[in-house]
């Protein structure tokens, strides 16, 4: 879903998809958070934030924080103007907070919280959704029940799986506005060189392996058939989901009927909906997890896949655009990124992630969360509600640098200038595979992701025996991470 993935990409869900080293908040840790959050950030030049860094602090203006630059904030002035026209009694101040990824952004938000000067509304990706829901955010249930008629158009246009990703213990905390699944991008130039057509929708893991071998045969040197990175989005997790497993055991909390019964009574997957995802116990030593890591290890050993620590998303766009990569997992946000890198619509395409035991996909999303400390929660809700309208979303997402959650906005005209040809794959991912799920991000997500990333490199670097050893270490690391209570 991020700034670390594609130049100029508005951080979505999925960067969402980025690392999130979020401290777990206790009364004691809150007191020391101002020193911890920024010290742990990776942007070394970023100064410590204080209340004076928030424009309008001390005024009645609604303070809204987003991950981005001053240019990102300026790009949303049309949105702010439209909101002000609709709500002249609610002054709004947008604060763009720079960071290499969501991790930095959340760390700086937590610093503001610790300092007693938090923003009123924060744009939060999947990585931080449960942390905010558990400690910082206000549930939206009462507002949605009250204004159900006003927001019914939104729910009628947004897939229920995206809403379920922001349910927590039976309550809904965000209205997702943009999202991205881990689909498979294809470099059509390199496919043509290997005599390959676009894979079928139901292609399998074995088909994928054969594709990589054909790409390698056609380009023996200076070329990577499969590029993946060591992070949650587009890393090992999509393969785990396809193999019907994960490194954390996944369950669902009870509740949520108030939402599903009112807005999604005819949802084909209604019986599976609940009160939000739960990742309570580690599952790293599960046989399918070991099998999945061993498959990726084999790709690396055979020269078909890059070692995941070999680079991030910024390098990836250039490599893909220069035909040095055959395939890579990415979301709809890459359409604009590749276009800006000089690729034409016929030079790349997209397909569903390959099927293993299932063809379940991984996705990330993002939306505004109202802080419990917001000085005017009713005004904050008006902002959240307005931003979910079609008018607001078209102002906020004028081009495909992410995937809008509104189905009606994902259309031919939206991708006319960029491609890819098979843009329908983006939203069809949810329609075709309704059990697709969000990035596994419990409230302790920071420590969980750190444990995963540390052990991925070890697992894919040696033999099959090394995979089992790494999974044992990951199991222990996850047990410690999940014990970290709030």
Quick check: 39 pLDDT over 50? no
Contacts of 386 (CB under 8 A, 6+ apart): 82, 83, 86, 87, 392
Q: Do residues 352 and 429 touch, judged by C-beta distance below 8 A?
A: yes
Neighbours of 186 (CB within 10 A): 23
Distance between CA atoms of 54 and 478, rounded to whole angstroms? 36
pLDDT the model gives residue 36: 27
The confidence score (pLDDT) of residue 2 equals: 39
Residue 420: cis peptide before it, omega within 30 degrees of 0: yes
**pLDDT confidence bin for 313, thresholds 50/70/90:** low
What is the maximal distance between C-alpha atoms in the chain?
Answer: 65
Q: Residue 70 above 60 pLDDT?
A: yes
Q: 109-122: per-residue pLDDT in tens?
A: 999 999 999 999 99
Instruction: Note the pLDDT of residue 77.
Output: 93
**Hey, which residues does 66 pair with through a beta bridge?**
96
State how far the Cα of 41 lies from the Cα of 376, in Å rounded to an integer: 30
Q: Are strands 92-97 and 62-67 parallel, antiparallel or unpaired?
A: parallel
Residue 255 Rama label (left phi>0; alpha psi -120 to 50; beta):
left
Phi, psi of 434 (to 5 degrees): -65, -15
pLDDT score of 311 more than 90 = no
pLDDT at 314: 66
Rounded CA-CA distance 260/60 in Å is 36
The rounded distance, in Å, linking the Cα atoms of 371 and 300 is 44
Question: Which tokens in the block code for residue 433?
Answer: 């595979």
Lowest pLDDT segment from 40-49, 60-69, 173-182: 40-49
pLDDT at 454 over 60: yes
The closest alpha carbon to 284, from 321, 240, 317, 223, belongs to: 240
**Mind listing the pLDDT tens digit for each residue in 379-437?**
999 999 999 999 999 999 999 999 999 999 999 999 999 999 999 999 999 999 999 99
pLDDT at position 310 is: 60
For the chain, give the percent of residues with pLDDT over 70: 86
Can you give the pLDDT at residue 316? 87
Identify the band that residue 60 occupies on the pLDDT scale cut at 50, 70 and 90. confident
The yes-or-no verdict on residue 277 having pLDDT over 50 is yes
Yes or no: say if 38 and 108 are a contact pair by the CB < 8 Å rule: yes
Instruction: Give the percent of the chain with pLDDT over 90.
Output: 80
Whether 6 shows a pLDDT value over 50: the answer reads no
CA–CA–CA angle 344, 353, 359 (5° rounding): 155
Neighbours of 453 (CB within 10 A): 18
Statement: residue 9 has pLDDT above 90: no
Task: Give 355's strand partners.
Answer: 204
Q: Is 369 helix (H, G, I), strand (E, B) or coil?
A: strand
Domains and CATH numbers, the chain: 27-180+364-432 (3.40.190.10)
- How far apart are the C-alpha atoms of 48 and 15, rounded to whole Å? 24
**34 pLDDT more than 50:** no
Q: Give the pTM.
A: 0.88
What span, in angstroms and rounded, lies between the C-alpha atoms of 273 and 430?
Answer: 14
Whether pLDDT at 21 is above 90:
no
Nearest to 361 by CA among 241, 205, 186: 241
Spatial contact of 231 and 19, defined as CB atoms under 8 Å apart: yes
Region for residue 222 given its phi and psi (left: phi exceeds 0; alpha: psi -120 to 50; beta: otherwise): left
* pLDDT per position as a tens digit, 326-356: 999 999 999 999 999 999 999 999 999 999 9
Q: pLDDT of 212-230, one tens digit each?
A: 999 999 999 999 999 999 9
More confident residue, 458 or 17: 458
CA distances from 286 to 221, 246, 249, 355, 474 (A): 36, 9, 10, 19, 11
Question: Sheet harboring 183-187: ordered strands across?
Answer: 224-226, 325-330, 183-187, 348-351
pLDDT digits 0-9 by tens, 348-378? 999 999 999 999 999 999 999 999 999 999 9
């Amino acid at each position: 879903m991020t700034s670390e993935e594609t130049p100029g990409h508005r951080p979505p869900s999925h960067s969402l998809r980025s690392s999130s080293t979020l401290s777990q908040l206790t009364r004691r840790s809150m007191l020391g958070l101002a020193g911890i959050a920024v010290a742990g950030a990776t942007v070394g030049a970023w100064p410590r934030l204080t209340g004076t860094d928030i424009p309008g602090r001390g005024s009645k203006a609604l303070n809204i924080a987003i991950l981005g630059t001053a240019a990102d904030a300026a790009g949303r002035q049309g949105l702010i103007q439209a909101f002000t026209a609709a709500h002249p009694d609610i002054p709004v101040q947008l604060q763009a907070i720079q960071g290499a990824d969501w991790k930095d952004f959340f760390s700086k938000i937590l610093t503001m919280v610790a300092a007693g000067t938090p923003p009123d509304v924060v744009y939060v990706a999947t990585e931080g959704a449960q942390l905010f829901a558990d400690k910082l955010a206000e549930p939206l249930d009462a507002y949605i029940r009250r204004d159900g008629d006003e927001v019914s158009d939104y729910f009628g246009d947004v897939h229920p799986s995206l809403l379920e990703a922001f349910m927590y213990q039976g309550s809904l905390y965000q209205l997702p506005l943009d999202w991205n699944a881990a689909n498979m991008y294809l470099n059509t130039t390199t496919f043509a060189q290997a005599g390959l057509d676009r894979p079928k929708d139901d292609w399998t893991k074995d088909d994928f392996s054969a594709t990589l071998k054909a790409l390698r045969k056609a380009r023996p040197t200076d070329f990577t058939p499969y590029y993946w990175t060591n992070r949650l989005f587009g890393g090992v997790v999509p393969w785990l989901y396809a193999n019907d497993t994960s490194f954390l055991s996944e369950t669902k909390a009870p509740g949520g009927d108030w939402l599903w019964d009112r807005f999604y009574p005819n949802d084909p997957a209604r019986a599976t909906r609940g009160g939000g995802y739960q990742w309570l116990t580690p599952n790293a030593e599960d046989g399918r997890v070991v099998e999945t890591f061993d498959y990726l290890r084999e790709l690396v050993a055979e020269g078909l896949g890059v070692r995941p620590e070999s680079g991030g998303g910024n390098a990836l766009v250039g490599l893909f655009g220069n035909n040095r990569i055959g395939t890579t997992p990415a979301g709809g946000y890459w359409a604009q990124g590749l276009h800006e890198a000089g690729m034409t619509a016929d030079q790349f395409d997209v397909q569903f992630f390959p099927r293993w035991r299932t063809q379940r996909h991984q996705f990330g999303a993002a939306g505004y969360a109202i802080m419990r400390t917001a000085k005017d929660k009713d005004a904050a809700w008006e902002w959240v509600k307005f931003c979910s309208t079609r008018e607001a979303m078209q102002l906020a997402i004028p081009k495909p640098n992410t995937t809008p959650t509104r189905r009606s906005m994902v259309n031919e005209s939206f991708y006319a200038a960029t491609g890819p040809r098979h843009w329908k794959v983006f939203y069809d991912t949810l329609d075709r595979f309704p059990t697709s799920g969000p990035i596994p991000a419990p409230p302790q997500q920071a420590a969980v992701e750190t444990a995963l990333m540390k052990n991925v490199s070890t697992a894919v670097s040696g033999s099959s025996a090394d995979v089992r050893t790494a999974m044992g270490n990951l199991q222990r690391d996850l047990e410690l991470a999940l014990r970290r209570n709030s």
